[in-house]
Amino acid sequence: MFTSKRMPITVLISGGELAIESVVETKAVAIVHFVQGSNEKIQIRYGEMFLGIRHTANRRSAAFLIRLFLPGTILFAIFAVLQTGTRAAQSERALRNANPERLWVGAYVPGWNQEPLDPRNDHLLDAITHFLHFAVYLRPRNGNLDLKTNELTPAKMRALVKAAHGTGKRALLVVGGDGSEPGLCIAATPEHLQKTVKSILSLIEQYGYDGIDVDWEPLVPEDAELYSTFIESLRKGLDQTSLRYRKPKLELTTEIEVNLNDKDYMASLLGTLHKLDEKFDRINLMTYAMANPTSLPFVWHNAALYPGASPVDGFRTPSADGAIREFFAAGFPPDKLGIGIDLYGYLWQGISPEDVSTLGRLWKHPPKVVELTYGEVLKYSRNNSTQWDEQAKVPYMSIPQMNQFLSYEDSRGIEAKLRYVRENGLGGVIIWDIGRDDRDDNSKRQLLGVIDSAEFFEKPPGAGEIVLH
């Protein structure tokens, strides 16, 4: 028997009490590990209340979630039935993932290439939990909200929200985007903040969005204070709106640029976000935009999952794992974090005789980088061989005859990232982007199929649930 801060937890077997091996407990959750044999029934009691019976049926390992709705409090308790002992790290991971039944998948939908979404009949969208409508721009001259730049029309806004809600998904309105930092800085000043927040919230109320995704890029140290007040004001406003209309909690998320080779930037970024951690529902790392000629003196993958050997002392090869480890070290809960999946390619093009077609190649003259849609990537693959970086877990093409290097994503790379998310207890992923355009020929939908067919978004095998009211 284990006496928790609230009431004794007892596990009974064959008429006797089973020894409890270890317990991880917080204000909300207790994870109880105990050793047992196969083909046995487990009775679980919380104080005097009988919670349920679990037959292990020769399972080597099983877990199920019990939710107790008690007067004045809610307790989430996980009882893990294990054949052998478990490490503390596994206990902590189970604790972090106690509540969500699925990982979240946020898909960006840019207004400029948005077409009608039909998640009810388009099953390639089944895995998506959040549609992120991109984006409300902030004008650099005065910080005013601008819907025209990204072609967010009233019809498109109503259509996206309706499509999401029709299948139980959520729709968030994105604020910001590449190049919006000057406008955001003006909009978040004391003179404009109240008006800015009021205007954003009016869009949420008018069109029925389920929250806001803030894309402040780059979040340089000089902007940290303005960003913080902006986030705090949005969080307060969203909570007040939820209460006023008796709606479910409106979400607040953010997507963040990561530059592992700028120590001052990373220190400021981690410090700022750590202070605001409780304000956010999710913090998404833009791990699909980490390598370019302005940040590295050598050719590297745009969205590497793991780091590789650097050809230059003092420079790291950017990777999703490297970014996540920085956030882990700073104390962020893993289930608050997400990494990115890109449905496009980065083409490095040499503009001088020096070779930039080889991975890790140093250059003196910065090459040009061009974004390609996935359809254009497939066209390159018809005449060039695809290679796989086993260490970084991403594909690429080396094209020496054109002095080009193509970094992109494919089904194998996406599966590696989804597996990484699951194994490291992360909250989910963001996808840039699921809009369609003339150059794409709908080819990126092949990658959506990979995400939809993955098994990484369901509860772990053997999981079950008992709900007591």
CA triple 397-400-406, angle to 5 deg: 25
Decide if 387 is inside a domain.
no
DSSP string, 102-126: S-EEEEEEEGGG-----TTT-GGGT
Residue 21 has pLDDT above 70, yes or no: no
* Distances, alpha carbon 342 to alpha carbons 52, 211, 263, 286, in Å: 44, 23, 25, 9
Q: In which band, very low, low, confident or very high, does the pLDDT at 10 lie, cut at 50, 70 and 90?
A: low
Query: Is residue 272 predicted with pLDDT exceeding 90?
Result: yes
Out of 99, 119, 144, pick the residue that ends a domain: 99
Average pLDDT over residues 15-20: 49
Distance from C-alpha of 420 to C-alpha of 414, rounded to nearest angstrom: 10
pLDDT more than 90, % of the chain? 65
Q: How many domains does the chain have?
A: 2
Q: What is the mean pLDDT of the chain?
A: 81
Q: Which of 78, 83, 79, 80 is nearest to 36 (CA)?
A: 83
Distance (Å) of CA 375 to CA 118, 287, 370: 22, 21, 14
Over residues 61-76, the pLDDT tens digits come to 333 333 333 333 333 3
Q: In terms of domains, do 166 and 247 share one? A: yes
Say if residue 99's pLDDT is above 60. Answer: no
Which among 80, 99, 118 is the end of a domain?
99
pLDDT digits (tens, 9 = 90+) for 304-338: 999 999 999 999 999 999 999 999 999 999 999 99
* 121 shares a domain with 88: no
The answer to whether residue 380 is domain-embedded is no
Cβ proximity of 35 and 85 under 8 Å: yes
Other Cβ atoms less than 10 A from the Cβ of 370: the count is 13
